[in-house]
Amino acid sequence: MSGLDTYLVVGSGSIARRHIANLKTLFPQATVGCISASGKLLHSMDIGADVFYPDLKDALEYEPRFAIIATPAPFHVQQAMALLDRNVPVLIEKPLTDCLKRFKWVENTFYAHQHHIEMAYNLRYMPSAISVKNYIDQQVLGKIHAVMIDVGQYLPDWRPNTDYRQNVSASKTLGGGVLLELSHELDYLTWFLGDFDHVFCLTHNTGTLDIDVEDVADALMTRGDGLQVNIHLDFLQHKAFRTCKIIGELGTITWDLLNNRMVLCLKSCQEKIVFEDPMYDKNAMYLDELSRFSRVAAGELTPAITIQQGVKVLSLIEAMKYSATVKQMVSIGDFC
């Protein structure tokens, strides 16, 4: 069958439905197909797809231009393998998978297809994030000494029309917990500043949410040039909070992700808003992500967020989890 006008989304949750809607916006003449995470046949028109397939084998008969994997993290690798074996380009929602061991079994296949695989860390397309990255690359702050990342939101408020305890974020078997679910922070950190050498991490399940994963984590990351990073992640803050402060020898950048704002304070101690767009439509970064990946799938561009970068974030998470278990600082390189 001709698949020139067919796109596939694997998954039927909130992020899958967003991708389906965005595919229909970008490619209004195309057919957008969907299968559930488990392969269970879907019927609900609320999902928005044009056609529902019973399984991946059936979906592949339509030769999709590319596929988006938007299922729980433990399913990502197996589903991607089935697509890559048929040379279907794949955009994988974060994180790459729930554990490195699952990826190591199939890494040769992934690397053989690496030019048609991209990680969906959408924050890299956010205008304020791009502004922060540009200021760092232009060395406006000089040598960077410290970074503080703070992010939290009350988990029951994430998807208020569902039982949060049944969602991926709350389930260990589905790849939940703050470290995997909030890995955007780890991705943009390494995008901004590169690799780190060591990490000390503490995680905790407070028991207040009736879930079986960590709902709070605090980490200290270091490297040889003296740069230190403090990271706080939680599912507990009733008022959503998401900031990143970057402290350099010449000044400080404060990035407010929720308000799409960046404030620069140089040695004069005068704060200056260098980027602000509080009315920014956050769906725009998902559209930009998909638009660019369509060109990657067509062979016109190379991946912006590579499989290697997805592995890097997962390696960092595994180092953080191990550190929390042994309650010691560990070498991140041991987990790559």
State the pLDDT at residue 3. 45
DSSP string, 26-54: H-TTSEEEEE-SS-PPP--GGG--SEE-S
Predicted pLDDT of residue 120: 98
Phi and psi angles of residue 233, each rounded to the nearest 5 degrees, phi first:
-130, 135
Calpha distance 298→27 (Å, rounded)? 14
Using CA of residue 286, residue 304, residue 264, residue 181, what is the dihedral sign?
Answer: positive
CA trace torsion 48, 54, 59, 62 (10° rounding): -90
Q: What is the mean pLDDT of each run of 10 residues along the chain (336 residues)?
A: 76 94 96 83 77 91 96 96 96 96 94 97 97 97 97 92 87 95 97 97 97 97 97 97 97 97 88 94 98 97 97 97 98 92
Q: What is the CATH topology of the domain spanning 127-279+314-335?
A: Dihydrodipicolinate Reductase; domain 2 (3.30.360)
Contacts of 8 (CB under 8 A, 6+ apart): 32, 33, 34, 35, 53, 59, 62, 64, 66, 67, 68, 88
Contact present, 35 and 57 (Cβ < 8 Å):
no
Query: Cβ of 266: how many Cβ atoms within 10 Å?
Result: 15
Angle, helices 184-193/127-137, rounded to nearest 10 degrees: 30
- How do strand 251-256 and strand 241-248 relate by DSSP bridges? antiparallel
- How many whole angstroms separate alpha carbon 227 and alpha carbon 146? 6
Predicted local confidence at residue 155, as pLDDT: 96
Query: Are the C-beta atoms of 25 and 287 separated by less than 8 Å?
Result: yes
What integer pLDDT is reported at residue 41 of this predicted model? 67
Domains 6-120 and 127-279+314-335 fall in the same CATH topology: no
The pTM of this model reads 0.94
For position 10, what pLDDT does the model report? Answer: 96
Structure letter (DSSP) for residue 60: H
User: What 3-state class would DSSP assign to 3?
Assistant: coil
The predicted structure's pLDDT at residue 332: 97
Tokens coding 223: 């490297």
CATH of domain 6-120: 3.40.50.720
Would you state the pLDDT for residue 39?
Answer: 61
Q: Is the peptide bond before 95 cis (omega within 30 degrees of 0)?
A: yes
C-alpha span between 81 and 67 (Å, rounded)? 12
Who's near 60: CB < 8 A, 6+ residues apart?
A: 82, 83, 86, 88
- Give me the residue spans of the domains in the chain: 6-120, 127-279+314-335
Predicted pLDDT of residue 269: 76
